[in-house]
């Protein structure tokens, strides 16, 4: 599993933008800025929609006040689902990064098996502070938990 102090792996992500999906390189996207990145097992899932995304939307100003340049959410979903989820429950304060094939979470060894729920391979629930492509803080949830990956927990760590 990726660790604090390590550089994020190169992977192709799809950034959800107003003009439509844009392919981005993880290396290029995270370069030169501080990003609060959080991962959810899936858009529109209960904990993700009721707590995880809303927490980062609610705490966006506080995160920026602590030096965060951008807040990003990733999930093993396609860009259209991520865009619809952000329109339904998110805000312009959160950049959605679709990891449709799970390449990004696989390269970080942060996958989970959601096959028991018909979800297949997904990303674990986590949050991290990424500074110029390097993981400074990493918080990975135990299966079924939602505590350490919350916006509140990340804020306390900054």
Which top CATH class is 12-157?
A: alpha beta
pLDDT in tens for each of the 158 residues of the chain? Answer: 999 999 999 999 999 888 889 999 999 999 999 999 999 998 887 787 878 999 999 999 999 999 999 999 999 999 999 999 999 987 899 999 999 999 999 999 999 777 777 676 879 999 999 999 999 999 999 988 999 999 999 999 99
Strand pairing class (134-140; 126-131): antiparallel
Q: What is the pLDDT of residue 120?
A: 61
Whole-prediction pTM value? 0.94
Closest CA to 82 of 45, 120, 136: 45
What distance in Å separates the CA atoms of residue 97 and residue 82, rounded to the nearest whole number? 8
Q: What is the pLDDT of residue 148?
A: 95
**Whether 38 contacts 56, CB under 8 Å:** yes
Burial class (CB within 10 angstroms; exposed 0-12, middle 13-18, buried 19+) of 158: middle
Q: Which residues contact 137 (CB under 8 A, 6 or more apart)?
A: 4, 128, 129, 154, 157, 158
Q: Which residues are catalytic?
A: 48
What distance in Å separates the CA atoms of residue 78 and residue 124, rounded to the nearest whole number? 16
- Residue ranges of the domains in the chain? 12-157
**Whether 132 contacts 30, CB under 8 Å:** yes
């Amino acid at each position: 599993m990726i660790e604090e102090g390590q550089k994020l792996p190169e992977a192709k992500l799809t950034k959800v933008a107003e003009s439509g999906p844009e392919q981005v390189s993880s290396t290029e996207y995270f370069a030169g800025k501080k990003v609060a990145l959080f991962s959810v097992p899936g858009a529109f899932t209960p904990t993700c929609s009721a707590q995880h995304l809303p927490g980062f939307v609610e705490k966006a100003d506080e995160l920026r006040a602590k030096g965060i340049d951008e807040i990003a959410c990733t999930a093993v979903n396609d860009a259209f689902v991520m865009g619809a989820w952000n329109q339904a429950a998110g805000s312009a304060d959160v950049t959605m990064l679709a990891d449709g094939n799970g390449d990004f979470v696989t390269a970080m060894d942060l996958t989970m098996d959601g096959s028991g729920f018909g979800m297949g391979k997904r990303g674990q629930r986590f949050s991290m502070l990424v500074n110029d492509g390097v993981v400074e803080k990493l918080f990975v949830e135990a299966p079924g938990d939602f505590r350490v990956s919350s916006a509140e927990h990340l804020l306390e760590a900054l």
